Homo-oligomer: A and B are copies of this chain.
Amino acid sequence: MTPTAVDQVLELVSLLQRDMALSFERDGLTEARAHLLWVLRDGPVTQRHLADALGVTPRNITGLVDGLVDSGHVVRRRHPTDRRATHVDLTPEGRRVTDAMVEGYADMHDVLFGGLSARQLAAFRRTLDSVLGRLRVRLEEEWG
């Protein structure tokens, strides 16, 4: 059976997930922890902020940060003004990992689009943009 367009898109999703999961694993990370680290690239933030950024409960962030503290990627610091809050920041090791992630981001461009002409890539991006637009609308309408 030749794959449908939806098949193709779902395979893309599947392959990308697998690729990223393997890449994270190489750094001793899980997807959730890698995601958290990614948010910390731009500087220390509050756990509450992380919860909002990752779309999970604050309680869950406590656990993820615990793990990343144990693995040496992250430290908890006193928030400069709010004594209730904690600032989570990257350690040098954490910074090394996020730097590698940024590089991997660039590599991914080459892997995905390296074989395409500028013209073809531009057309692909335009179409993708329209697809994303419809998908966003659908999510908004269907699930609020």
A71 at the interface (CB under 8 A from B): no
Q: Please report the C-alpha to C-alpha distance between residue A22 and residue B141 in the assembled complex, in whole angstroms.
A: 13
Chain A interfacial residues counted at CB < 8 A: 42
**Across-interface contacts of A8 in B (CB, < 8 A):** 125, 128-129, 132
Return the CB mask of A1-41 against B: 1 if under 8 Å, else 0.
00011101111110111110010000000000000000000
CB-based contact A112/B128 at 8 Å: no
Q: Does A85 contact B (CB under 8 A)?
A: no
Q: Does A134 contact B (CB under 8 A)?
A: yes
Closest Cβ neighbor of A135 among chain B residues: B15
Contacts of A130 in B (CB 8 A): 115-116
Provide the main secondary structure of the chain A interface.
helix
- A78: interface (CB < 8 Å): no
Q: Collect the chain B residues with CB atoms within 8 Å of residue A123's CB.
A: 123-124, 127
Cα(A8)–Cα(B9), bound, Å:
13
Contacts of A128 in B (CB 8 A): 5, 8-9, 12, 124
Chain B residues within an 8 Å CB radius of A125 = 5, 8
Chain A, range 89-114, C-beta contacts under 8 Å to B: 105, 108-109, 111-114
| B contact residues around A13 at 8 Å (CB) | 12-13, 16-17
